[in-house]
Amino acid sequence: MLFCHVLVWPLDKNYFRKPLEYTTFVRLNELLSQSNNKIFIKNGLTPTGNSPKILVTGGAGFIGSHTVVSLVEAGFEPVIVDDFSNSERSVLAGLRTILGRDVVCYPADCNDAAAMEAILQKEAISGVIHFAAYKAVGESVQQPMKYYRNNLDSLMLLLELMPKYGIKNLVFSSSCTVYGQPEQLPVTEETPRLPAQSPYGNTKAISEDIIRDTVQANVPIRALALRYFNPIGAHPSAEIGELPLGVPANLIPFITQTAAGIRPSLTVYGDDYNTPDGTCIRDYIHVVDLAEAHVQALRKLSELTTDASYDVINIGTGRGETVLNIIKTFEQETGVKLNYTLGPRRPGDVEQVYADVTKANNVLDWTASRSLAESLRDAWRWQQKLGS
């Protein structure tokens, strides 16, 4: 039977089920002795073959955990780093059920230089997917410094450490928020970046600039920034999905929690936008499609012969949906009637944005294949498993 322990230093050897587990843990912490953060996960059985190891920061999060699954399915070996500040350790059990084994996971802060360096010394990493970041638009408006410090410092640390350990390939988790409120739709990668509508969006724009400038300085890093639109859904197994802490900041978990009776009603923020029904328009992409885009991005980076390169790619469906249409489709697909009210606009929200995905289709040889209806059914199945 496979298992995964969360180990908090210091520990007595009586904590461990088997002497071998204690010995392995001690050796691991000897290797990681430079770190002040002595909290790590000791896994049961993991492959020891020649699969390329990919560091996945924020790998226990919503998009990160689904990408871990897609990486394993594609023949990569993910190594998760996550401080669980915006995720839960139960995600690891879901991954184990889907994959039939454990994955390596270090519960460390990606801003902890000693911890990150110790992990890179231990693991022979061949590429990085950087998800770790705070992501709530509304909170970023209220606490901008929290977002600038966390989201930017962790990226800069990675860019400093990657060349030191010979790691060339980086896939960065960017966002359509860098476009602000675009003047023309759909947005292409050449659409001018307008001032972000929130500090969160601004951290993504600044992060892209940091990566671009690093590459232009001939630092040997090959990077792709994937500008996500709105990820929704859950793994079809209902073993992993979105786990918002507290009140959801995103539409779909708020819908599913309202449908489950956890929330008394859903507030639709703004019904006076210049859209067909007055509500915001977004490009909603199934999280598994998004995860598969990361795998394709890694593959394309590995095919490059240049030492330093940088590009940006939109990842979406190319279709815009209003909030009210999302509610209508959810009700049709699940048979659950939603209680919702119309409220004022929310600070930081843009009116409408959806992607031109031509570049993703051509460069990554990737396209989103899952429908809105499928995404909403998977999200509801996940919520039903979580219970009310």
- The catalytic residue positions are 200
- CA 307 to chain CA centroid, nearest Å: 26
C-alpha separations of 190 from 116, 180, 318 in Å: 34, 14, 15
Instruction: For residue 5, give the H/E element and its range.
Output: strand 4-8
DSSP per-residue string spanning 240-265: S----SSS-SSHHHHHHHHHTTSSS-
Find the radius of gyration of the CA atoms of the chain: 21
- Residues 53, 126: contact at Cβ < 8 Å? yes
The first and second tokens of residue 196, run together, are 């972000």
SS3 state at 230? strand
Rounded Cα distance between 318 and 139, Å, is 28
Residue 80: its H or E element: strand 77-81
Of 174, 191, 382, 176, which Cα lies nearest the Cα of 280? Answer: 176
Judge whether 354 and 325 are in contact, CB under 8 Å.
Answer: no
What span, in angstroms and rounded, lies between the C-alpha atoms of 53 and 71?
Answer: 10
Q: 225 — phi, psi (to 5°)?
A: -100, 120
* 282 touches 227 (CB < 8 A): no
| Secondary structure (3-state) at 169 | strand
Q: H/E element holding 195? A: none
Q: In Å, what is the CA distance from 24 to each residue of 7, 43, 79, 125?
A: 12, 10, 17, 20
Spell out a b/e string for 278-302, using b for 16 or more CB atoms within 10 Å of the CB, else e: ebbbbbbbbbbbbbbbbbbbbebbe
